[in-house]
Protein backbone atom coordinates (compact mmCIF):
# COMPACT_ATOMS: atom_id res chain seq x y z
CA UNK A 1 0.00 0.00 0.00
CA UNK A 2 1.15 3.52 -0.63
CA UNK A 3 1.59 5.60 2.52
CA UNK A 4 -0.73 8.59 2.72
CA UNK A 5 0.28 11.88 4.34
CA UNK A 6 -0.69 12.25 7.98
CA UNK A 7 -1.65 15.53 9.53
CA UNK A 8 0.45 16.99 12.33
CA UNK A 9 0.08 14.84 15.47
CA UNK A 10 -2.11 16.32 18.19
CA UNK A 11 -1.77 15.75 21.96
CA UNK A 12 -2.54 12.27 23.25
CA UNK A 13 -6.20 11.32 23.10
CA UNK A 14 -8.61 8.66 24.34
CA UNK A 15 -6.49 5.75 23.21
CA UNK A 16 -7.21 2.33 21.78
CA UNK A 17 -10.49 2.09 23.68
CA UNK A 18 -11.83 4.74 21.29
CA UNK A 19 -10.77 2.65 18.34
CA UNK A 20 -12.27 -0.50 19.77
CA UNK A 21 -15.57 1.10 20.72
CA UNK A 22 -15.14 0.52 24.48
CA UNK A 23 -16.39 -3.03 24.10
CA UNK A 24 -14.93 -4.15 27.41
CA UNK A 25 -15.01 -1.60 30.21
CA UNK A 26 -12.66 -3.70 32.32
CA UNK A 27 -9.90 -3.27 29.76
CA UNK A 28 -7.63 -0.34 30.55
CA UNK A 29 -6.36 0.64 27.12
CA UNK A 30 -3.10 2.57 26.64
CA UNK A 31 -3.32 6.18 25.48
CA UNK A 32 -2.85 6.75 21.78
CA UNK A 33 -2.01 9.87 19.79
CA UNK A 34 -5.26 11.73 19.05
CA UNK A 35 -4.38 12.28 15.39
CA UNK A 36 -4.00 8.53 14.88
CA UNK A 37 -7.23 7.86 16.78
CA UNK A 38 -9.12 10.38 14.67
CA UNK A 39 -7.87 8.94 11.40
CA UNK A 40 -8.49 5.33 12.38
CA UNK A 41 -11.88 6.10 13.92
CA UNK A 42 -13.14 8.61 11.39
CA UNK A 43 -12.57 6.64 8.21
CA UNK A 44 -14.90 3.78 9.19
CA UNK A 45 -17.72 5.45 11.05
CA UNK A 46 -19.81 2.28 11.11
CA UNK A 47 -16.95 0.65 12.99
CA UNK A 48 -19.04 -2.01 14.71
CA UNK A 49 -17.37 -5.06 16.19
CA UNK A 50 -17.97 -8.06 13.93
CA UNK A 51 -16.88 -11.68 13.92
CA UNK A 52 -14.66 -12.97 11.16
CA UNK A 53 -13.36 -16.45 10.21
CA UNK A 54 -9.95 -16.76 11.82
CA UNK A 55 -8.41 -17.97 8.54
CA UNK A 56 -9.24 -14.64 6.91
CA UNK A 57 -6.82 -12.92 9.28
CA UNK A 58 -3.03 -12.92 9.02
CA UNK A 59 -0.13 -11.16 10.81
CA UNK A 60 0.51 -7.60 9.68
CA UNK A 61 3.54 -6.45 7.77
CA UNK A 62 3.99 -3.61 10.27
CA UNK A 63 3.97 -5.68 13.47
CA UNK A 64 6.85 -4.25 15.56
CA UNK A 65 7.12 -7.38 17.70
CA UNK A 66 9.66 -9.97 16.55
CA UNK A 67 9.46 -12.38 19.51
CA UNK A 68 6.35 -13.86 21.08
CA UNK A 69 6.62 -15.25 24.59
CA UNK A 70 5.16 -18.76 24.55
CA UNK A 71 4.25 -18.72 28.24
CA UNK A 72 2.37 -15.42 27.81
CA UNK A 73 0.45 -16.78 24.81
CA UNK A 74 -0.39 -19.97 26.75
CA UNK A 75 -1.75 -17.86 29.62
CA UNK A 76 -3.79 -15.78 27.18
CA UNK A 77 -5.11 -18.96 25.54
CA UNK A 78 -6.26 -20.24 28.93
CA UNK A 79 -8.09 -16.95 29.51
CA UNK A 80 -9.72 -17.09 26.06
CA UNK A 81 -10.80 -20.66 26.68
CA UNK A 82 -12.60 -19.49 29.82
CA UNK A 83 -13.98 -16.10 28.75
CA UNK A 84 -13.52 -15.80 25.00
CA UNK A 85 -11.73 -12.97 23.17
CA UNK A 86 -12.83 -9.94 25.17
CA UNK A 87 -10.95 -7.37 23.12
CA UNK A 88 -11.47 -7.35 19.34
CA UNK A 89 -8.54 -7.36 16.94
CA UNK A 90 -8.01 -4.30 14.77
CA UNK A 91 -7.49 -5.33 11.14
CA UNK A 92 -7.30 -3.67 7.74
CA UNK A 93 -8.24 -5.15 4.35
CA UNK A 94 -5.39 -6.40 2.17
CA UNK A 95 -5.61 -4.54 -1.10
CA UNK A 96 -6.50 -6.70 -4.11
CA UNK A 97 -7.30 -9.83 -2.07
CA UNK A 98 -10.76 -11.06 -1.17
CA UNK A 99 -11.55 -12.05 2.41
CA UNK A 100 -8.00 -11.24 3.52
CA UNK A 101 -7.13 -8.90 6.38
CA UNK A 102 -3.92 -8.11 8.19
CA UNK A 103 -3.67 -7.47 11.90
CA UNK A 104 -2.90 -3.97 13.09
CA UNK A 105 -3.34 -4.68 16.80
CA UNK A 106 -4.00 -7.95 18.57
CA UNK A 107 -1.68 -10.56 17.03
CA UNK A 108 -1.15 -12.27 20.39
CA UNK A 109 -4.93 -12.63 20.80
CA UNK A 110 -5.10 -14.12 17.30
CA UNK A 111 -2.31 -16.60 18.05
CA UNK A 112 -3.91 -17.58 21.36
CA UNK A 113 -7.32 -18.00 19.69
CA UNK A 114 -5.76 -20.35 17.15
CA UNK A 115 -4.25 -22.38 19.96
CA UNK A 116 -7.67 -22.70 21.59
CA UNK A 117 -9.18 -23.76 18.26
CA UNK A 118 -11.60 -20.87 17.70
CA UNK A 119 -13.09 -20.65 14.22
CA UNK A 120 -14.02 -16.96 14.46
CA UNK A 121 -12.59 -13.90 16.21
CA UNK A 122 -14.09 -10.47 16.95
CA UNK A 123 -12.57 -7.72 14.82
CA UNK A 124 -12.91 -4.07 13.94
CA UNK A 125 -12.05 -3.30 10.33
CA UNK A 126 -10.19 -0.05 9.66
CA UNK A 127 -8.86 1.44 6.44
CA UNK A 128 -5.35 2.66 7.29
CA UNK A 129 -2.25 3.71 5.42
CA UNK A 130 1.03 1.87 6.01
CA UNK A 131 2.25 4.72 8.19
CA UNK A 132 -0.87 4.69 10.36
CA UNK A 133 -0.70 0.89 10.64
CA UNK A 134 2.88 1.04 11.91
CA UNK A 135 2.11 3.92 14.28
CA UNK A 136 -0.87 2.18 15.86
CA UNK A 137 0.92 -1.18 16.15
CA UNK A 138 3.97 0.44 17.70
CA UNK A 139 2.07 2.72 20.07
CA UNK A 140 -0.19 -0.06 21.31
CA UNK A 141 2.78 -2.25 22.20
CA UNK A 142 4.97 0.56 23.57
CA UNK A 143 2.27 1.90 25.86
CA UNK A 144 1.57 -1.57 27.18
CA UNK A 145 5.32 -2.14 27.60
CA UNK A 146 4.98 -5.29 25.51
CA UNK A 147 8.05 -4.78 23.33
CA UNK A 148 11.68 -5.57 24.00
CA UNK A 149 13.99 -2.52 23.92
CA UNK A 150 15.30 -3.50 20.48
CA UNK A 151 11.82 -4.04 19.06
CA UNK A 152 10.82 -0.61 20.31
CA UNK A 153 13.99 0.95 18.87
CA UNK A 154 13.45 -0.75 15.51
CA UNK A 155 9.87 0.54 15.39
CA UNK A 156 11.11 4.09 15.96
CA UNK A 157 13.74 3.66 13.25
CA UNK A 158 11.15 2.50 10.73
CA UNK A 159 8.84 5.40 11.50
CA UNK A 160 11.71 7.83 10.98
CA UNK A 161 13.25 6.26 7.87
CA UNK A 162 10.17 4.98 6.04
CA UNK A 163 7.72 7.71 7.01
CA UNK A 164 10.06 10.67 7.60
CA UNK A 165 9.26 11.41 11.23
CA UNK A 166 11.65 13.68 13.08
CA UNK A 167 12.63 12.68 16.62
CA UNK A 168 10.56 15.55 18.03
CA UNK A 169 7.53 14.62 15.93
CA UNK A 170 7.89 10.95 16.79
CA UNK A 171 8.09 11.74 20.51
CA UNK A 172 4.74 13.53 20.28
CA UNK A 173 3.11 10.70 18.34
CA UNK A 174 4.11 7.92 20.74
CA UNK A 175 3.85 9.98 23.91
CA UNK A 176 7.52 9.64 24.92
CA UNK A 177 10.22 12.20 25.59
CA UNK A 178 12.74 13.07 22.89
CA UNK A 179 15.70 11.83 25.03
CA UNK A 180 13.89 8.49 25.39
CA UNK A 181 13.61 8.21 21.60
CA UNK A 182 17.31 9.14 21.22
CA UNK A 183 18.45 6.60 23.82
CA UNK A 184 16.37 3.82 22.28
CA UNK A 185 17.73 4.50 18.78
CA UNK A 186 21.30 4.32 20.10
CA UNK A 187 20.70 0.66 20.97
CA UNK A 188 20.65 -0.12 17.26
CA UNK A 189 24.36 0.83 17.06
CA UNK A 190 25.36 -2.02 19.39
CA UNK A 191 27.14 -5.08 17.92
CA UNK A 192 24.94 -8.05 17.02
CA UNK A 193 26.19 -10.28 19.90
CA UNK A 194 25.11 -7.61 22.39
CA UNK A 195 21.73 -7.27 20.69
CA UNK A 196 21.25 -11.01 21.02
CA UNK A 197 21.93 -10.79 24.76
CA UNK A 198 19.31 -8.03 25.06
CA UNK A 199 16.77 -10.06 23.08
CA UNK A 200 17.46 -13.08 25.28
CA UNK A 201 16.82 -11.01 28.41
CA UNK A 202 20.40 -11.36 29.65
CA UNK A 203 20.98 -7.61 29.46
CA UNK A 204 18.49 -4.92 30.43
CA UNK A 205 18.08 -1.48 28.89
CA UNK A 206 20.12 -0.11 31.80
CA UNK A 207 22.99 -2.50 31.11
CA UNK A 208 22.94 -1.63 27.42
CA UNK A 209 23.02 2.11 28.07
CA UNK A 210 26.02 1.64 30.37
CA UNK A 211 28.18 0.06 27.66
CA UNK A 212 26.87 1.70 24.51
CA UNK A 213 29.81 4.11 24.13
CA UNK A 214 32.50 1.60 25.11
CA UNK A 215 35.28 0.71 22.68
CA UNK A 216 34.48 -2.99 23.03
CA UNK A 217 30.85 -3.32 24.20
CA UNK A 218 30.77 -7.04 23.37
CA UNK A 219 33.52 -7.91 25.87
CA UNK A 220 31.89 -5.74 28.52
CA UNK A 221 28.51 -7.34 27.90
CA UNK A 222 29.96 -10.82 28.18
CA UNK A 223 31.63 -9.94 31.47
CA UNK A 224 28.43 -8.37 32.84
CA UNK A 225 26.42 -11.49 31.98
CA UNK A 226 29.11 -13.85 33.25
CA UNK A 227 29.30 -12.15 36.65
CA UNK A 228 25.59 -11.34 36.91
CA UNK A 229 26.31 -7.65 37.45
CA UNK A 230 23.68 -5.13 38.42
CA UNK A 231 23.20 -2.01 36.30
CA UNK A 232 25.20 0.04 38.81
CA UNK A 233 28.05 -2.47 38.69
CA UNK A 234 27.91 -2.44 34.89
CA UNK A 235 28.15 1.36 34.91
CA UNK A 236 31.16 1.13 37.24
CA UNK A 237 32.80 -1.46 34.99
CA UNK A 238 32.24 0.67 31.88
CA UNK A 239 33.61 3.75 33.63
CA UNK A 240 36.71 1.94 34.84
CA UNK A 241 37.32 0.48 31.38
CA UNK A 242 37.08 3.95 29.85
CA UNK A 243 39.53 5.32 32.44
CA UNK A 244 41.93 2.43 31.82
CA UNK A 245 41.73 3.04 28.09
CA UNK A 246 42.52 6.72 28.48
CA UNK A 247 45.43 5.93 30.79
CA UNK A 248 46.78 3.41 28.28
CA UNK A 249 46.52 5.91 25.44
CA UNK A 250 48.33 8.52 27.48
CA UNK A 251 51.11 6.25 28.67
CA UNK A 252 51.69 4.55 25.28
CA UNK A 253 53.59 1.92 27.22
CA UNK A 254 51.27 -0.92 28.07
CA UNK A 255 47.80 -2.05 26.99
CA UNK A 256 44.73 -1.16 29.00
CA UNK A 257 43.33 -3.68 31.45
CA UNK A 258 40.96 -6.26 30.03
CA UNK A 259 37.26 -6.20 30.87
CA UNK A 260 37.71 -9.33 32.99
CA UNK A 261 40.60 -7.76 34.95
CA UNK A 262 38.59 -4.61 35.68
CA UNK A 263 35.59 -6.70 36.70
CA UNK A 264 37.81 -8.71 39.07
CA UNK A 265 39.11 -5.48 40.62
CA UNK A 266 35.56 -4.25 41.18
CA UNK A 267 34.68 -7.58 42.83
CA UNK A 268 37.71 -7.28 45.13
CA UNK A 269 36.71 -3.74 46.06
CA UNK A 270 33.25 -4.93 47.05
CA UNK A 271 34.72 -7.78 49.08
CA UNK A 272 37.01 -5.43 50.99
CA UNK A 273 34.18 -2.96 51.55
CA UNK A 274 32.08 -5.72 53.12
CA UNK A 275 35.00 -6.73 55.33
CA UNK A 276 35.85 -3.28 56.71
CA UNK A 277 32.59 -1.40 56.21
CA UNK A 278 34.14 1.51 54.27
CA UNK A 279 34.49 2.48 50.62
CA UNK A 280 37.58 1.00 48.98
CA UNK A 281 39.26 1.89 45.67
CA UNK A 282 41.94 -0.26 44.07
CA UNK A 283 44.26 1.38 41.53
CA UNK A 284 46.25 -0.91 39.23
CA UNK A 285 49.27 0.11 37.16
CA UNK A 286 50.39 -3.02 35.41
CA UNK A 287 51.35 -5.50 38.13
CA UNK A 288 51.67 -2.77 40.76
CA UNK A 289 49.04 -0.60 42.34
CA UNK A 290 47.54 0.82 45.52
CA UNK A 291 44.46 0.52 47.73
CA UNK A 292 42.63 3.61 48.98
CA UNK A 293 40.28 3.35 51.97
CA UNK A 294 37.87 6.26 52.38
CA UNK A 295 36.87 7.22 55.94
CA UNK A 296 34.75 10.07 57.27
CA UNK A 297 36.37 10.53 60.66
CA UNK A 298 39.11 9.40 63.04
CA UNK A 299 36.76 6.91 64.67
CA UNK A 300 36.36 5.11 61.38
CA UNK A 301 40.13 5.20 60.83
CA UNK A 302 40.70 3.70 64.30
CA UNK A 303 38.22 0.96 63.45
CA UNK A 304 40.10 0.09 60.26
CA UNK A 305 43.41 0.01 62.08
CA UNK A 306 41.98 -2.33 64.75
CA UNK A 307 40.72 -4.70 62.05
CA UNK A 308 44.09 -4.66 60.28
CA UNK A 309 45.85 -5.44 63.55
CA UNK A 310 43.48 -8.37 64.04
Q: Find the CATH number of the domain harbouring 76.
A: 3.90.1530.10
Last residue of a domain, one of 172, 188, 204: 188
Which domain-ending residue is among 167, 188, 209? 188
Q: Is it the case that residue 17 has pLDDT exceeding 50?
A: no
Give, to the nearest 10 degrees, the angle between helix 298-309 and helix 259-276: 100
The pLDDT, as a whole number, for residue 57 is: 94
Distance CA(177)–CA(167), nearest Å, equals 9
Inside any domain, residue 4 = no
Collapsing DSSP to helix, strand or coil, 32 comes out as coil
Residues contacting 244, CB < 8 A, separation 6+: 256, 257, 262
Q: Is 60 exceeded by the pLDDT of residue 147? A: yes
Residues designated as active site: 107
Residues 145 and 259 in one domain: no
Question: Is the pLDDT at 113 greater than 90, yes or no?
Answer: yes
Res. 110 pLDDT band, cuts 50 70 90: very high
Residues 93 and 144 in one domain: yes
Q: Residues 206, 152: one domain?
A: no
pLDDT of residue 120: 93
> Residue 247's pLDDT band (boundaries 50, 70, 90)?
low
What average pLDDT does the segment 231-250 reach?
Answer: 79
Query: Which residue, 168, 188, 208, sits at the end of a domain?
Result: 188
Q: Are residues 260 and 209 in the same domain?
A: yes
54 with 173, same domain: the answer is yes
Q: Same structural domain for residues 150 and 225? A: no
Q: Is the pLDDT of residue 42 over 60?
A: no
Q: Is residue 217 part of a domain?
A: yes
Name the DSSP letter for residue 123.
E
Give the strand pairing for 120-125 and 279-285: unpaired
Q: Are residues 160 and 209 in the same domain?
A: no
Both 286 and 152 in one domain: the answer is: no
Whether pLDDT at 278 is above 50: yes
What span, in angstroms and rounded, lies between the C-alpha atoms of 242 and 76? 45
Residues 100, 210: one domain?
A: no
Do 33 and 127 share a structural domain?
yes
Name, of 9-13, 93-97, 160-164, the range with top average pLDDT. 93-97
- Residue 94 in domain: yes
DSSP for residue 212:
T
The reported pLDDT for the residue numbered 46 is 44
pLDDT at position 288: 77
d(CA 197, CA 265): 24
In a shared domain, residues 107 and 121 = yes
pLDDT score of 36: 39
Give the domain extent around 255: 190-309
Do 297 and 211 have their domain in common?
yes
**How many domains is the chain built from?**
2
Classify residue 33: in a domain, yes or no: yes
Average pLDDT of the residues in 286-294: 80
Task: Output the pTM of the full model.
Answer: 0.55
Mean pLDDT value across residues 168-177: 85
Q: What is residue 230's predicted lDDT score, i.e. its pLDDT?
A: 92
Amino acid sequence: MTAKPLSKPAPLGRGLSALFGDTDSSYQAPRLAAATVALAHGRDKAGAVQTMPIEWVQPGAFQPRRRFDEDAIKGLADSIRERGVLQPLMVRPIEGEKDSYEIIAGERRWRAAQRVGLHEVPVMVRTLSDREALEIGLIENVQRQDLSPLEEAEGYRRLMEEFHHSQDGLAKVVGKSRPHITNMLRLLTLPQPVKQMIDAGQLSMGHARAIITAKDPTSLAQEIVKKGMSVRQAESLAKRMAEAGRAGDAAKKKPALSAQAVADVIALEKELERAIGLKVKIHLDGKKGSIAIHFAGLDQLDGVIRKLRG
